[in-house]
Structure 1
Amino acid sequence: MQSQDPYSLDKSKIIEPPKTLGKTVKHLGPGFILSASIVGSGELIATTQLGAKAGFVAMWVILVSCLVKVAVQLEFGKRAIMTGETTFASFNSLPGPKIGKANWTVWTWLVLMLIKFLQVGAIVGLVSVLLNMAFPGVSDFWWLIIVVIAIASIVVSGYYKILEVLSVSMIGLFTIFTFFSLIALQSTESAISIANITSGLQFKIPDGAGMAIVVIGAFGLTGVGGDEIMAYNYWLIEKGYASNTGQNDGTEEWNRRAKGWIKVMYIDAIFAMIVYTLVTVAFFLLGSALLYGKGDFNVGGKAFLENLSNLYTATLGAWAEPFFYFGAFVVLFSTAFSALAAWTRQFTDAFGRVGLLDFDNFKSRKIWLGMLAVVIPTLWALVHLLFQKPVWMIVVGGVSTSIILLVVLFAAIVFKSQRKNSEIKTGGIYEVAFWLSSAMILFVGVWSILSIYI
C-alpha cells in the first residue's frame, strides 16, 4: 500500500504546470488507466455483438459513443483539479435530498452498481474460460480462482504507478493485436471496402428485433462510460494534478497553476480518446466483416469464444488462433484489473459518504481499499458462476452504465454552473462539445429507461 496520502493537498506538493510538450508527456497517465478499462468488454463483446447483428451500418453508433462523452469527463476533471475533491465528496454537495449522511446521487450509484456486477462478473468469467481453452489441462473453475487472485494482487498494492505502467502495456498490446488483425483481414474474402465504411456514416438505425437494447448497451460500454468518468477523478488526484495545483487561495498564482494543469488534463483525456476511438472502431470493423450474420452470439462463455475464435481462424487462417487467444486475454484482463482498481476507490469513497468509514483518514481508507480488492473480485466470480451468460450479463451492465451517465450528466451540469463565476473560463468549442455531449447522453439514458418498459 502507498505510504503517503495521495489525496492530501499539502503546500509542499505544489508544482508549476509543464510548459513544453516533452514535459507535458511525463504527466500523462490517468487517461491510459481509463483506456485500459474502456477498451475491453465493450470491444470484444458489445462492439462485436453490434457488428455481428447490425453490420457496418451501425459504425456511427460507435463513433458517436467514443467522441461525445469526453466533454463531460473534462468537466469532472476540472472539478477534481480545482477542489481536490473525490467524486463522491463532490456528489455529496449536489442539490437534492439526503438519505442519512449521503446525497441521493450516492445511493443511486450504489444501487445501479449492483447491476454492474453482472458485467464485470462476465468479464472475469470469460478470462477464465479463455485460459481454459488455451490451456485445457486446468479447469475454468481453477482458472477463475487464479484470475481473481491475480487481479486482487495487482490492485491490493494500491500504487498508482503500477496501474499506470500495466495499463500502458495492455493498451499497446491490444492496439497492436487489433490493427494487425485488421491488416490481415484485407488479404481475405472478407476485406473491408470504402462502401462498407461510408454505409456506417449515414446515421441509420439498425433494423431488427432487439436492436435497441444492443445499441444502448454498445453506447454505454464503448467510449468513456458513466462509471469511468467518475473514476477519472481518482486517477487525476493520484497522479498529482490536484496537489500540484494546491488549495484555492484566490491568488493569481493559483489561477495560473489551475489553468496549466487543466490544460495538461485536456491533452491526457483527448489523447486517450483518440486511442480508444481508433481501437474501438477497428474492433467494430473486424466484427462486422467477420461476424455479420454468422454464429450465435447469445450463448454461454465457452461457446461464445469458440464462435469468435472459429470465425477468426476460418477467415485469417489457423495461425490466427493463438493471436486471438492472446488478444482476447489482454482485452478482457485489462478491463478486469482496471475496473477493480476503480471500484475499490469508488466504493470506499461512497461508503465513506454513507458513514461506514472516514474516507479522509488515510489508515482507514487503506484498510478498506485492501479489503475490497479481495471482496469485489470474489463477488464477480460468484456472479459468473451463478449466471454464466456473458453476452447478456455484459449488455445488461452496459444499459446500467447508460443510466449512470444520467446521474453523471446531472452532476457535470451542476459543477459547470458552480464554476461560472470562476476565473477558469472555457472557450466556445468546449461549450458546444459539452452541450452536444449532454444532449446525446440524455437521449440515450432516457431511451435506456424506456426500453425496459416498452
Structure 2
Amino acid sequence: MTVENDPYARSSQEFKDPPRDFRSTLRHLGPGMILVGSIVGSGELIMTTKLGAVAGFVLLWFVLLSCLIKVVVQAELTRHTISSGKTFLTVFNALPGPAVQRPVWLAIPWMSIVTVVSVVVVILFVNLPETLLTWSTRVLILAGAVVIIVVAAFLIQAYHNHARPRATSAQRPRINWFTWLWLSSLLLTFVNSGAILGGAGQAIELAFPDFMPGGARAWSVVVAIATAALLLSGTYASLEKTFIIMVATFTLMTVASTVLIQWTGYAVTWDDVVGGLSGKMPGPVTTTLILAALAMYAGTGVAYGEMKTYTYWCVEKGYARYIGENQPGEEWARRARGWIRVMYTDVLITMVVYTISTVCFYMLGAAILFANGKDPDGVKTLATLGEIYTESLGSWSAMLFIVGAFFVLFSTVVAGAAGNSRLLADGLTVMGIADPRDYRSRLRFIRIFIIVSLVLYSVAYWLFENPPQMLLITSSLIAALMYPIIGLGVLYLRHCDVDPRIVPGKLTTVWLWICGIALTVISPIGILSALAIQFGWIAIGP
C-alpha cells in the first residue's frame, strides 16, 4: 500500500501546510469528538452520576480536577507522537528500564491460549457454588491455569525450534517493561469495556422489557454485533461524523436537564456549588466512596485509554503525515508547530465539551439521586440513572433518556472497540509479529481485534452483569497502575526525547509538571487510603 493511503507512513516529499486562522483550523478538528464519545458513556453517565449519588455536591472540586489535570498530559503525549511519526506503543516501548528480546512463545497462539484460560478461570470463580469454592479449590484452579499457560509456551517454543531451526533472534525486537505491563492489563480493559456494553444492553431492555430471553445480557450481544457491523464497514471519517451527532445530542439534553431542575424541588443552590468547591471530603469516608471517586477520576476527563487512543485518532486524521518526515531547517519545524497548534485546539475544545457534560451529570446525580437516597447499581443501573431526567423533565422524558443513554453508551462501545483494536494491532508491530510498514496487514488485524474485543466485552458483562461495580474495580486498578506511568513518561519525553525546535513553552512545561506529578500520586494514594480504611488502620471524617 502506498504512503498516500497509509496514515501511519510519512515522507519528506508529502506534507501539508497547517491552517493559518481559527476558521480554517475548525475544519481540521475531529479526533476529540471520538474521544468525547468514548468518555461520556463510562466516566460521565455512569460513574460521575454514581459519585454524585453517593457523595452529594461535596466532591464537585474533585470532578473538575479530574477534567482539567489530564489535558496537558494528553496534548504533550500527542505532540510527541505526531511530530516523531511514532505510535504510542512504539514510544513507550522505548522508555528507559528493563527490556528483553521478545520470547519465541510470545505470539498470537500463546496469547490466544492465555485469553481462553483466563476466561475459563473467571467463569469457574463466578459460577461455582460457595460450598465448592474453597481456598484449596481456588488454588487448584489457578495452579491448573498456570500449568496450561507454561506448557503452551514450552510447546510453542519447541515447535518454533523444530520448524525454523535457522531463524535468527535478530528478527525479534526487544520489549520493555511497559509493553509487558500493558499486555498484563488487557483483561482489565476488556472487563471495563464490558460494563459499557452491558449498560447499552440495559438501555434497550428498558425500552423493550422482557422482549428477548436473557434480557440485558442478550441485548448486549446484539449491541456487540451492531458495533462490529459499523466498525467493519466504516472509516475514520464516518466514525467522526457519527460521534459528533451522538455527543452533541446527549450533551444538549443533559445540560437542558440540569437547567430545568432549577424549577423543581431539586434546584441546585449557590451554597451547594460553594460547598462542592471548598476542597473538603465527605464524612465519613468509606472504601466504597474512595473507589467510586477513583473510578470517576479514571473515567472522566481524558482516561488512560483515551490518552492512548487519541494519539492514533490524530494519526488517522492525518496530523502526523501532514507534518511530514523530520527534516533539518525551519520549514519542518514551522509546519510541525502549526499542526500541533491544531491538535491543541482540538484538545481544548474537547475539554470544554466534556467538562460541561461531566459537571452536569455530577450535579444531576447529587441533586436528585443523593437527595432520594438512590444508588445506581446492578441490573437496575440504567433505570436508576433515568430518574435524573424524569425528575427534572417529567415522566415523558423516560423514553428520551433511554434513547439518549443508549446512543451515548453505544458511542463509547464503538469508540472503545475501535481504539483498542488499533492498540492491539500496533502491539503486534511493536513485538515484531506484524510488519509496521504493511498497512493492509494492520487493517486486517484491526478488524480481527474488533471482533475479538467485542466477544470478550460480551463475555465480561454476561459474567458480572453489574456495570458500576465492573467500572469501580477495573477503573480504580487501571488508574493506580497506569496514570503514574503516563504522567512520568510524558515528563521524560518532554525533557529527553522531543525535537528542540518544537518544545512547549515555559507555561505549558510548568503546567505539565504539576499535572504529571498529580497523575502520579492521586491514584496510588487513593488505593492505599481505601485499603487502610478497609482494614481499620485509619478513619477519615466524623
Q: What do residues 279-316 of structure 1 show as CA deviations (whole Å, max 9, x unaligned)?
A: 10011111110111534536322x22222224542454
1:358 aligns with 2:431: no
1:148 aligns with 2:217: no
Contact 2:494 2:503 in 1 (8 A): no
Which of 185, 202, 216 aligns to 2:261? It is: 185
| TM-fit CA distance, 1:401 | 3.4
| Rounded Cα–Cα distance in structure 2 between residues aligned with 1:144 and 1:421 | 46
Write the letter of the residue equivalent to 1:30. P
Partner of 2:358: 280
Partner of 2:414: 337
| TM-fit CA distance, 1:88 | 0.7
Shift in CA distance, 173/314, structure 1 to aligned 2, threshold 3 Å:
closer
Partner of 1:237: 315
| Rounded Cα–Cα distance in structure 1 between residues aligned with 2:238 and 2:250 | 18
Write the letter of the residue equivalent to 2:19. P
Partner of 1:9: 10
Q: What do residues 160-212 of structure 1 show as CA deviations (whole Å, max 9, x unaligned)?
A: 11111111111111111111211221111001111111111111122232222
Partner of 1:291: 369
| TM-fit CA distance, 1:114 | 1.5
Partner of 2:127: none
Partner of 2:183: 110
Q: Secondary structure at the match of 1:204?
A: coil
Write the letter of the residue equivalent to 2:416. A
| Rounded Cα–Cα distance in structure 1 between residues aligned with 2:78 and 2:325 | 15
| Rounded Cα–Cα distance in structure 1 between residues aligned with 2:411 and 2:372 | 28
Q: What do residues 329-357 of structure 1 show as CA deviations (whole Å, max 9, x unaligned)?
A: 12211111111111000111123223332
Partner of 2:80: 79
Q: Secondary structure at the match of 1:359?
A: coil
1:125 aligns with 2:198: yes
Q: Which moved more, 1:323-332 or 1:235-244?
A: 323-332
| Rounded Cα–Cα distance in structure 2 between residues aligned with 1:274 and 1:238 | 23
Q: What do residues 1-32 of structure 1 show as CA deviations (whole Å, max 9, x unaligned)?
A: 99921111034530001101111111111111
Write the letter of the residue equivalent to 2:459. L
Partner of 1:424: 502
* Correspondences of 1:319-334 after superposition (within 5 Å): 319-334=396-411
1:258 aligns with 2:336: yes
| TM-fit CA distance, 1:453 | 4.4
| Rounded Cα–Cα distance in structure 1 between residues aligned with 2:373 and 2:41 | 21
| Rounded Cα–Cα distance in structure 1 between residues aligned with 2:530 and 2:53 | 23
| Rounded Cα–Cα distance in structure 1 between residues aligned with 2:446 and 2:41 | 23
| TM-fit CA distance, 1:145 | 2.2
| TM-fit CA distance, 1:441 | 0.5
Contact 1:81 1:242 in 2 (8 A): yes
Write the letter of the residue equivalent to 2:394. G
Q: What do residues 140-173 of structure 1 show as CA deviations (whole Å, max 9, x unaligned)?
A: 3442222001111222236211111111111111
Q: Secondary structure at the match of 1:355?
A: coil
Contact 1:31 1:272 in 2 (8 A): yes
Which of 233, 236, 247 aligns to 1:157? It is: 233
Q: What do residues 76-119 of structure 1 show as CA deviations (whole Å, max 9, x unaligned)?
A: 11111211111111112111112423211111122223212222
Shift in CA distance, 420/386, structure 1 to aligned 2, threshold 3 Å:
closer
Indicate the structure (1 or 2) with the bigger Cα radius of gyration: 2
| Rounded Cα–Cα distance in structure 2 between residues aligned with 1:451 and 1:193 | 31
| TM-fit CA distance, 1:242 | 0.7
Q: Secondary structure at the match of 1:319?
A: helix
**Structure 2: any 5+ residue segments left out of the alignment?**
103-173, 533-542
| Rounded Cα–Cα distance in structure 2 between residues aligned with 1:335 and 1:304 | 17
Contact 1:226 1:405 in 2 (8 A): yes
TM-score (norm 1): 0.95
Shift in CA distance, 93/310, structure 1 to aligned 2, threshold 3 Å:
closer
Q: What do residues 23-65 of structure 1 show as CA deviations (whole Å, max 9, x unaligned)?
A: 1111111111111111221112110111011111110111000
Contact 2:485 2:520 in 1 (8 A): no
Q: Secondary structure at the match of 2:501?
A: coil
| Rounded Cα–Cα distance in structure 1 between residues aligned with 2:391 and 2:38 | 29
Partner of 2:294: 216
Shift in CA distance, 409/313, structure 1 to aligned 2, threshold 3 Å:
same
Contact 1:112 1:404 in 2 (8 A): no
1:318 aligns with 2:318: no
Partner of 1:95: 96
Write the letter of the residue equivalent to 1:24. T
| Rounded Cα–Cα distance in structure 2 between residues aligned with 1:111 and 1:125 | 23
Shift in CA distance, 298/189, structure 1 to aligned 2, threshold 3 Å:
closer
Q: Which moved more, 1:6-15 or 1:390-399?
A: 6-15
Shift in CA distance, 421/345, structure 1 to aligned 2, threshold 3 Å:
closer
Partner of 2:326: 248
Shift in CA distance, 414/133, structure 1 to aligned 2, threshold 3 Å:
same
Q: Secondary structure at the match of 1:6?
A: coil
Q: Which moved more, 1:371-380 or 1:397-406?
A: 397-406
| Rounded Cα–Cα distance in structure 2 between residues aligned with 1:28 and 1:229 | 17
| TM-fit CA distance, 1:421 | 6.1
Q: What do residues 204-260 of structure 1 show as CA deviations (whole Å, max 9, x unaligned)?
A: 122232222111111111100112111111011111111101011112110110111
Contact 1:340 1:377 in 2 (8 A): yes
Matched residue count: 453
**Structure 1: any 5+ residue segments left out of the alignment?**
none
Partner of 1:168: 244
Contact 2:53 2:374 in 1 (8 A): no
Q: Which moved more, 1:431-440 or 1:281-290?
A: 431-440
Q: Secondary structure at the match of 1:426?
A: coil
Contact 1:125 1:384 in 2 (8 A): yes
| Rounded Cα–Cα distance in structure 2 between residues aligned with 1:363 and 1:304 | 41
Q: Secondary structure at the match of 2:386?
A: helix
Contact 1:118 1:396 in 2 (8 A): no
1:202 aligns with 2:278: yes
| TM-fit CA distance, 1:419 | 4.3
Q: Which moved more, 1:5-14 or 1:32-41?
A: 5-14
Partner of 2:492: 414
